[in-house]
């Protein structure tokens, strides 16, 4: 089952070692939501060369990214059949193009958390080395023109703290959210001045609810006032928050805990200081959501020295 834990671990071997002592004792491992298992799939042969795990919420967008990065890396499949979904379930979609894995994570921390548990174990079972996990998402911005790309400096919770809060065995656990500054800087360096949009580095607030949790007043339920909302969003801005999304702290904490370099790159679809409704044209939406993908493609090409 391609168990890299049997190999003597060296300081810089770059392998992924999930921080769970029980994994070694398991005879086999079913990655249930991916539809893969160590006893039926040859994970090192299928995934051993993966270096870039690129995630995003929408399955359609991640399929498009697989096609896009394939063209950029000169790895377009000759038969024109397009990339194949490697998830045998419908929980996520996963495409592999060379050393790039393009995976949809759904919406919210519980959804990306399941995926990250299984992807980290997948990288371990496949004996991948020097893997980078990134999320390319859409988000609400604060004080930025819609269409701006935000590379996350610090991923913070709803109290503006760099912490991922979860409940384990009925007790609250706080884990630090640390992303790779080196990777963030490299992604920023891939931006070419003169592009139609700006790229900024800022703090990203992660919430568990899109409407009330992000202080919106246009959900089905709203117990707060417009004034409360403005006050809260301004306080977020003053704390360095430049965008708001729903997965960042979970990704940052789980990558950090597992020794994997992580980065979050999102495009803003609206300025939350000006409104709540997401209301751009379909053309704008398509163009904007391409921007994090373009940056990521340049970053990957540079890393691969293409």
| Residue 217 sits in the site that holds a second copy (CB under 8 A) | yes
φ/ψ of residue 160, rounded to 5: 65, 25
| Residue 113 sits in the site that holds a second copy (CB under 8 A) | yes
Indicate which single residue of 204, 207, 243, 268 sits in contact with a second copy (rule: CB under 8 A). Answer: 207
Indicate which single residue of 87, 184, 244, 246 sits in contact with a second copy (rule: CB under 8 A). Answer: 246
| Residue 278 sits in the site that holds a second copy (CB under 8 A) | yes
| Residue 151 sits in the site that holds a second copy (CB under 8 A) | no
Q: Are 176 and 281 in contact (CB under 8 A)?
A: no
Q: Whose Cβ is closer to a second copy: residue 201's or residue 239's? A: 239
Q: Which residues contact 287 (CB under 8 A, 6 or more apart)?
A: 147
Indicate which single residue of 109, 149, 252, 267 sits in contact with a second copy (rule: CB under 8 A). Answer: 109
| Contacting range for a second copy; rule: CB under 8 A; set: 88-96, 129-137, 145-153, 181-189 | 88-96
| Residue 211 sits in the site that holds a second copy (CB under 8 A) | yes
Assign 255 to helix, strand or coil.
helix
Q: Which residues contact 118 (CB under 8 A, 6 or more apart)?
A: 31, 32, 33, 34, 36
Assign 172 to helix, strand or coil.
strand
8-state DSSP, 198: -
Report how far residue 98's alpha carbon sits from residue 75's, in angstroms, rounded to the nearest whole number: 7
Indicate which single residue of 6, 80, 81, 168 sits in contact with a second copy (rule: CB under 8 A). Answer: 168
| Residue 3 sits in the site that holds a second copy (CB under 8 A) | no
CA 280 to chain centre: 23
Q: Whose Cβ is closer to a second copy: residue 178's or residue 257's? A: 257
Q: How far is CA 142 from CA 159, 170, 262, in A?
A: 16, 34, 23
Q: What angle do CA 117, 85, 53 make, to 5 degrees?
A: 45
Q: Whose Cβ is closer to a second copy: residue 33's or residue 188's? A: 33
| Contacting range for a second copy; rule: CB under 8 A; set: 45-53, 69-77, 144-152, 169-177 | 169-177
| Residue 167 sits in the site that holds a second copy (CB under 8 A) | yes
Q: Whose Cβ is closer to a second copy: residue 3's or residue 209's? A: 209
| Residue 30 sits in the site that holds a second copy (CB under 8 A) | yes
């Amino acid at each position: 089952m391609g168990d890299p834990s049997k190999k003597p671990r060296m300081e810089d071997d770059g392998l992924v070692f999930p921080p769970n002592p029980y994994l070694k004792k398991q005879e086999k491992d079913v990655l249930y939501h991916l539809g893969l298992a160590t006893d039926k799939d040859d994970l090192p042969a299928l995934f051993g060369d993966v270096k870039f795990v690129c995630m995003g919420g929408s399955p359609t967008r991640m399929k498009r990214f697989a096609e896009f990065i394939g063209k950029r890396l000169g790895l377009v499949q000759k038969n024109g059949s397009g990339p194949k979904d490697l998830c045998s379930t419908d929980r996520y979609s996963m495409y592999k193009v060379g050393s790039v894995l393009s995976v949809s994570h759904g919406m919210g921390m519980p959804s990306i958390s399941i995926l990250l548990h299984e992807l980290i174990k997948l990288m371990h079972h496949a004996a991948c080395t020097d893997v980078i996990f990134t999320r390319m998402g859409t988000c609400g911005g604060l004080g930025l023109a819609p269409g701006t790309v935000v590379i996350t400096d610090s991923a913070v919770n709803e109290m503006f703290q760099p912490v991922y809060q979860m409940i384990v065995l009925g007790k609250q656990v706080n884990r630090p959210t640390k992303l790779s500054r080196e990777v963030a800087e490299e992604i920023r360096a891939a931006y070419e001045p003169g592009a139609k949009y700006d790229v900024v580095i800022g703090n990203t607030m992660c919430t568990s609810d899109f409407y009330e949790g992000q202080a919106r007043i246009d959900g089905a339920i709203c117990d707060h006032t417009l004034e409360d909302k403005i006050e809260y969003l301004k306080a977020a801005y003053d704390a360095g928050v430049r965008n708001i999304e729903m997965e960042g702290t979970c990704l940052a904490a789980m990558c950090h805990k597992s020794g994997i370099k992580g980065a979050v790159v999102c495009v803003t679809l609206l300025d939350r200081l000006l409104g709540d409704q997401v209301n751009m044209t379909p053309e704008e939406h398509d163009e904007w959501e391409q921007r994090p993908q373009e940056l990521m493609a340049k970053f990957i090409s540079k890393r691969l020295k293409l």
